[in-house]
Amino acid sequence: MKASDKNRPLVGRCTDVGKIRSANEDNMGDLPIDQGHVLIVADGMGGYRGGALASHLVVEAIEEYFRDARVETPPKAMRQAICLANERIYLRGQQEEELSRMGSTCVLAMVREGLTYLAHVGDSRIYLLRKGGKLQQLTRDHTVVQHFVDVGLLSPEEADGHPDSHILSRALGPRAHVEPELSEFALRLRPGDRILLCSDGLTKMIRDPDIEKILQKGETPQDAAEDMVQTANDNGGEDNVTVLIYEYHPTTQEEWDALEKEETQEVPVKKPASEPASEPHELEEDFASASTNALPHEEPAGEQHDLDPLPKKKEAPAAPAKEAAPKQESAEKEASTEAKAEESSAKDDAASAPKEDKKEESSEKKAEKTEEPAPSKEDTEK
Ligand code: CA
């Protein structure tokens, strides 16, 4: 590594079709933005053509959004970018029978002035390795099995190797609307911290302690990314594997100052108003169940559940085990109330961020228009 490299962020990227699949349906993107960086990994599904197209549309839409947008509030912008990607996939899927079942996951990290904001849909993941620290999983999979773990119906041990662990509870594309999960906190990065974004082709083939070792060992993010993909393939390469690693180094005096001043490493963020889907997520589950994302997991990463995810809202206790299915509905009702409560503040923001809101408006108007001919369950099972 050149000495000058230590004064700017470093990005490592590696993707591979794996040992079993005939096509790589993963995609990724990294885009430098004003005082920061946007990082994306998307894992497509829905057939040979559809899967690759869906994940490509995710990266294209999000990069396009961040190239054009003047970002005032990162979580709001990230949500809009993901909704734009969802709309693109959904509308394209409506146009062609062969593409009607396509969809994608999405993990999105935005680093700005040393703070990291996260958003995701599906079972691709974001990890953080603090320099000299332990690997932390920062996202929680949107899978049916993870949901059962969250509500106490399954223990992490029972979830380990569960035959339904591939079934997604949220995905981009099958419906006109998607609700991304946004992090509650922005993380203050320190020099040398590494963020890893990856598709499940990595986490199915390498356990977290080994991911940690490779991430620590790689002299550069690119070395680590290549090593991870090679290891996933050596372990069987059952799926497409995609690894995107970002190593943070402060670039401005403000970032150095913030590092000295701030004692806390987590800064609460105001999340944008949720736009709950009009129906529960059953369709996505059906859709994902029938997708090509369904290879058996010989070696799932069981330890992942022992790691601390981002802190969750204290006022949002887990639903009792028996109420697993209705939980999502009640969460959506709650979100609906929040949405109404925050509607006026969202309007207030309109004046300060006209471009962002214009985008949101047009994107959501289109989504509303397309809500009517939403695909039926039958449609997704053709
Ligand atoms: Ca995959």
Residue pair 96/172 in contact by the 8 Å Cβ criterion: no
> With 80 as the cut, is the pLDDT of residue 283 above it?
no
Average pLDDT (150-177) is 90
The C-alpha atoms of residue 292 and residue 201 are separated, in whole angstroms, by 13
Q: Which of 43-52, 182-191, 230-239 shows the highest mean pLDDT?
A: 230-239
Residue 107 vs residue 272, higher pLDDT: 107
Cα(363) to centroid of ligand 1, in Å? 28
Which residue has 């939980």 as its token pair? 327
> With 80 as the cut, is the pLDDT of residue 185 above it?
yes
Cα(143) to centroid of ligand 1, in Å? 13
Of 112, 104, 382, 346, the residue nearest 252 (C-alpha): 112
pLDDT at 274: 57
Residue 120 vs residue 291, higher pLDDT: 120
Could you list which residues have their CB under 5 Å from ion ligand 1? 43, 199-201, 239
Cα(166) to centroid of ligand 1, in Å? 9
Q: Quote the number of domains for the chain.
A: 1
pLDDT at 244: 98
pLDDT at 29: 98
Cα(267) to centroid of ligand 1, in Å? 32
Query: Which residues fall within 8 angstroms of residue 34, CB to CB, at 6 or more apart?
Result: 112
The C-alpha atoms of residue 74 and residue 64 are separated, in whole angstroms, by 15
Which secondary structure element, helix H or strand E, spans residue 60, and what is its range? helix 48-68
pTM over 0.85: no
Confidence band, pLDDT 50/70/90 cuts, at residue 47: confident
Ramachandran bin of 46, using left for φ above 0, alpha for ψ from -120 to 50, beta for the remaining angles: left
pLDDT at 370: 35
Averaged confidence pLDDT in the chain: 75
pLDDT at 159: 86
Cα(26) to centroid of ligand 1, in Å? 7
pLDDT at 271: 65
Q: What is the pLDDT of residues 221-276, one digit of tens each?
A: 999 999 999 999 999 999 999 999 999 999 888 899 888 886 556 666 666 665 44
- CATH number for the domain that contains residue 297: 3.60.40.10
Q: What is the pLDDT of residues 119-155, one digit of tens each?
A: 999 999 999 999 889 999 999 999 999 999 999 999 9
For 122, the domain range is: 3-380
pLDDT at 306: 28
**CA torsion sign, 159 to 160 to 161 to 167?**
positive
Question: Both tokens of residue 234?
Answer: 């050596």
Cα(379) to centroid of ligand 1, in Å? 23
The C-alpha atoms of residue 138 and residue 245 are separated, in whole angstroms, by 14
Confidence band, pLDDT 50/70/90 cuts, at residue 35: confident
Cα(67) to centroid of ligand 1, in Å? 27
Cα(240) to centroid of ligand 1, in Å? 6
Cα(123) to centroid of ligand 1, in Å? 8
Residue pair 107/197 in contact by the 8 Å Cβ criterion: yes
3-class SS shares of the chain: helix, strand, coil, % to 5: 45, 20, 35
Average pLDDT (315-337) is 35
Cα(96) to centroid of ligand 1, in Å? 23
